[in-house]
Amino acid sequence: MAFVIIFGPMKSGKSLELISRVAPYEFAHDRVLYVQPIANTRDEGVWSRGGLKVRAVKVESLNDITATFDVIGIDEINMFPPDDVVVINKWLEKGKNVYISGLDLDYKAEMPEICRRILSLKPDEVVFKKAVCDVCRIFDARFTQIIHDGEELLGGIPSIVPEDGTFEYQARCRQCYKRAKI
Ligand SMILES: [Zn+2]
C-alpha cells in the first residue's frame, strides 16, 4: 500500500513524477487508473506531458469514479471539491494505492482546502517539486505567480484562471515571488 502526494508550482514536472510513480504497477498487472479534473481544458482525453502519454478519466468529482482499480493516480488535485477527501480516505481504508499531484499553493501562496485536508490523512511521503524560476532562471522556484498585462496579480481573481493568453502562469523562486500577504 502506498499513499504519496506530489506538490509543486506550475511547470515543476508534477504530472511526470506522478506517471513515473504509478506506471510501474502496470507491469505488475495491477489495475491502474489515471484521473484528471474535467475543469482542465488544456488536454483532451489523453494526458501528455514531457513526451509521456497516458489515458486519463476526466471527472468533476472523485465520487464519479465507477471503475475498479488497485492503483489510482490523480492529477491536479487542487481543482477537485474539498469533500472529495472523504472518497480518498475510503480508498485508503480499502488498501488502494493512491498517488496524487497538484499545486500545493495558489497564486496567493494559499493552500487549497482539499490539499490541507489530504495532508491530514497522513501520506507516506510528500514530494515537493521545484521549477526553474521564470524571472532569474534559477532552478529553485516553489511558488506560482499569475501575470496580467505584465503585472503580478496579488488578488481579486479566482485561484485558477483560463490559460488563454490573458493570464500567464509563472514559476518563481522565493526572491522573485511577489507576495500579497502572509
Ligand atoms: Zn527567481
Q: How far, in Å, from the CA of 132 to the mean position of ligand 1?
A: 8
Strands 167-172 and 143-148: antiparallel
pLDDT at 166: 85
Q: How far, in Å, from the CA of 1 to the mean position of ligand 1?
A: 38
Which residue, among 71, 95, 98, 70, has the nearest Cα to 84 in the 3D structure?
98
Q: How far, in Å, from the CA of 146 to the mean position of ligand 1?
A: 14
In a domain, 147, yes or no: no
Number of domain units in the chain: 1
pLDDT at 41: 58
User: Which tens digit of pLDDT belongs to each residue from 81-115?
Assistant: 999 999 999 999 999 999 999 999 999 999 999 99
Q: How far, in Å, from the CA of 139 to the mean position of ligand 1?
A: 8
Q: Please, which residues have CB less than 5 A from ligand 1, an ion? A: 133, 135-136, 173, 176
Which residue, among 80, 104, 84, has the nearest Cα to 5 in the 3D structure?
104
User: Which tens digit of pLDDT belongs to each residue from 27-38?
Assistant: 999 999 999 998
Which residue, among 102, 115, 95, has the nearest Cα to 3 in the 3D structure?
95
> In CATH, what number is assigned to the domain containing residue 40?
3.40.50.300
In a domain, 23, yes or no: yes
Q: Can you tell me the distance from the alpha carbon of 122 to that of 17, in angstroms, rounded to the nearest whole number?
A: 20
Q: How far, in Å, from the CA of 10 to the mean position of ligand 1?
A: 14
Residue 159 pLDDT grade (very low, low, confident, very high; cuts 50, 70, 90):
confident
5 has pLDDT over 90: yes
In a domain, 26, yes or no: yes
Place of cell 472523485: 62
- Kindly state the percentage of the chain with pLDDT values over 70: 92
pLDDT at 82: 97
Question: Would you name the residues annotated as active-site residues?
Answer: 76
In a domain, 73, yes or no: yes
In a domain, 65, yes or no: yes
C-alpha 173: how far from its chain's center?
Answer: 19
Domain that holds residue 15: 3-128
Q: Can you tell me the distance from the alpha carbon of 85 to that of 121, in angstroms, rounded to the nearest whole number?
A: 9
In a domain, 176, yes or no: no
Question: Rounded to 5 degrees, what angle do the CA atoms 173, 116, 61 make?
Answer: 110
In a domain, 104, yes or no: yes
In a domain, 182, yes or no: no
